Amino acid sequence: MGLLKDTKINHISKLLFKWAYYNLLLSGTWLGPPSLQLAGKRMEMIKK
Amino acid sequence: MKKLVILGAGCGGTMMANKMRKLLDRKEWDITIIDRDNHHDYQPGYLFVPFGINTEKEIRKTKREFIKPGITFVISELANVDWEKQVITTETAGKFSYDILIMSTGCETLPEEVEGLAETWNKTAYGFYSYDDCIQLKKALAQFEGGRLVINIAEMPIKCPVAPLEFAFLVDWHLHERGIRDKVDLQFVTPLTGAFTKPVATQVLNQACKEKNINIVPNFAIGAVEGDRKVIQAFDGTEVEYDLLVSIPPNFGSQVMIDSDVADPMGYIPVDKHTLQPEGHDNVWVLGDGTNVPTSKAGAVAHYQADVLEENIMAYINGEAQHARSDGHAL
């Protein structure tokens, strides 16, 4: 794990994501507001 | 009784089945989901199996255990999709008519699309984009004691575009852990101009590769693999030798969709990139890796697409305007 020191949190998050995938995503659980997917996006591009 | 049919019980199809079962009255709507097998693989785990971070057993479960009660799960290969007659024909389970169709049939890697690659598959060339492939790669990596390890992306688009680079960093770590990193020339051979698809990320990731002594060979359009010589050849004649090749073959959508005349020659289903509907078919929606939408082929994209479909399908059923739009967002 020494070589992964800079990204250890990222690495562990990836491993924990498996739980979220099986228990939240596949069940169709709503994870955020509808606007979440548009956060930070250039809306003028979407409206075209 | 009205019928909602879902093709594909992977990430996208399972999410949609479960979402719609919560929303649709069981007395009014039957929901049927069709897939060719009962294996549900945690696809991000394919990347970890070759290094023993995940075991094979940890990433394979059954599809049925994730499909909620009140949904009929049919296991069969598809034979034909007919949007005009609104009928799905399967190989072994008969025909299914539908009022609403959701398609999530995904994509897969095809080594046979590169000359010579299929002949060398699991001999000197390996992959990590399927359950069987990542297990074979695990065995090959365990036996690899040094030489040139080449990671090659054949062409874009591919599932999870960052996965090949993640693999490169993981194999760098793995080789260090085994104490043989200094015996390995690690090469990342790509058709892109650098480590990744986007310029800002590419700049950062190019530097990361440099720091890890991973040599990037850009603009390499592979034409053939010569397994006997252990060489990959580009169309311009450039050659790269290898001792162990980790290949990301071309990705294709479903052949059945091509044969049903609902997909492009790559097997991807053309849809409006914001509504995710094929032109002229207002009761059909498509999500996940099987569309021609110019976004990442990743479960996260399918997740956000599912939110759009859920809202618009309910609006369609209720005779209301459909306002939800997909922007291809991954995270």
**Is the domain of B68 the same as that of B148?**
no
Task: Indicate yes or no: CB of A26 within 8 angstroms of CB of B326.
Answer: no
Counting the structural domains of chain B, the total is 2
Q: Nearest residue of B to residue A7 by CA position?
A: B169
Helices B163-178 and B199-211, packing angle to 10 deg = 10
CA nearest to B206, candidates B225, B223, B220, B192: B192
**Is the domain of B192 the same as that of B207?**
yes
Residue B323 within any structural domain of the chain = no
The model's pTM: 0.91
- How long, in residues, is chain A? 48
Average confidence score pLDDT of chain B: 95
Domain of B58, in residue numbers: 2-107+253-317
Nearest to A34 among B44, B173, B307 (CB): B307
**Is the domain of B118 the same as that of B178?**
yes
**Is the domain of B263 the same as that of B245?**
no
Give, in degrees to the nearest 5, the angle at Cα B306 between B273 and B302. 70
**Is the domain of B227 the same as that of B298?**
no
Q: pLDDT (tens digit, 0 to 9) for every residue of chain B, 331 residues total?
A: 999 999 999 999 999 999 999 999 999 999 999 999 999 999 999 999 999 999 999 999 999 999 999 999 999 999 999 999 999 999 999 999 999 999 999 999 999 999 999 999 999 999 999 999 999 999 999 999 999 999 999 999 899 988 999 999 999 999 999 999 999 999 999 999 999 888 888 888 999 999 999 999 999 999 999 999 999 999 999 999 999 999 999 999 999 999 999 999 999 999 999 999 999 999 999 999 999 998 888 888 898 899 999 999 999 999 999 999 988 877 6
- The answer for residues whose C-beta is within 8 angstroms of residue A8's C-beta and 6 or more apart is A1
Q: How far apart are CA A47 and CA A26, in angstroms?
A: 30
ipTM of the complex: 0.81
Residue B312 within any structural domain of the chain = yes
- Looking at B210, B229, B250, the residue that finishes a domain is B250
**Is the domain of B261 the same as that of B235?**
no
CATH number at residue B28: 3.50.50.60
Provide residues of A within 8 Å CB-CB of chain B.
3-4, 14-15, 17-18, 21-22, 25-28, 30-31, 34, 36-38, 41, 45-46
Provide residues of B within 8 Å CB-CB of chain A.
11, 14-19, 22, 40, 42, 44-45, 53-54, 58, 61, 66, 68, 172-173, 176-177, 274, 299, 303-304, 306-308, 310-311, 324-327, 329
Residue B267 within any structural domain of the chain = yes
